[in-house]
Structure 1
Amino acid sequence: MRKNKTETERTIQRLIEIARNHFTTNGYANVSLEEIVNEADLTRGALYHHFKNKKGLFLAVFEAVQKEVGEYVEEAAAKSNDSWQQLINGCQAFLEGAVQTHNQRILLVDGPAVLGWETFRKMDEKYSMNSLKEQLQLMQEQNLLKPVSADAMTHCLSGAMNELVLWIADYPDQKDKIKEAMMVLQHMLEGLRENK
Structure 2
Amino acid sequence: MSRPRSRREQYSEETREALLTTAAAMFAERGYAKTALSEVASAAQLTRGAVYHHFKDKQDLFRAVLERTETESMAAIQEAYLVHEDPVAGALAAMNAYLDRVVDSHYAEIVLRQGPIALGWEDWKACEEQFAAGLIEQIITALVSAGRLPPLPIATTASITFSMLGGCGMAIAAASPQDRARVRDESSEVLVRLIGGLLV
**TM-score, structure 1 normalization:** 0.92
CA RMSD of aligned residues (A): 1.5
Match of 2:186 in 1: 180
Q: Which amino acid is the alignment partner of residue 89 of structure 1? A: A
Match of 1:101 in 2: 105
Match of 1:8 in 2: 12
Q: Which amino acid is the alignment partner of residue 55 of structure 1? A: Q
The Cα shift of 1:60 comes to: 0.4
Q: Which amino acid is the alignment partner of residue 127 of structure 2? A: M
**TM-score, structure 2 normalization:** 0.90
Distance in 1 between residues matched to 2:81 and 2:184, nearest whole Å: 17
* Structure 2: tracts of 5 or more residues without a match: none
Distance in 2 between residues matched to 1:28 and 1:3, nearest whole Å: 33
Does residue 21 in structure 1 map to residue 25 in structure 2?
A: yes
- Residue from 71, 77, 82 that aligns with 2:75: 71
The answer on whether the counterparts of 2:103 and 2:184 sit within 8 Å (CA) in structure 1 is: no
The Cα shift of 1:110 comes to: 1.3
Distance in 2 between residues matched to 1:175 and 1:109, nearest whole Å: 17
Q: Which amino acid is the alignment partner of residue 102 of structure 2? A: A
> Once the two structures are aligned, what percentage of the paired residues are identical?
28
Aligned residues: 194
Distance in 1 between residues matched to 2:48 and 2:166, nearest whole Å: 35
- SS in structure 2 of the partner of residue 28 of structure 1: coil
- Residue from 117, 122, 125 that aligns with 2:126: 122
- Residue from 55, 58, 75 that aligns with 1:51: 55
Q: Which amino acid is the alignment partner of residue 196 of structure 2? A: E
Q: Which amino acid is the alignment partner of residue 59 of structure 2? A: K
Match of 1:148 in 2: 152
Distance in 1 between residues matched to 2:61 and 2:110, nearest whole Å: 12
* Structure 1: tracts of 5 or more residues without a match: none
The Cα shift of 1:31 comes to: 0.6
Distance in 2 between residues matched to 1:46 and 1:178, nearest whole Å: 40
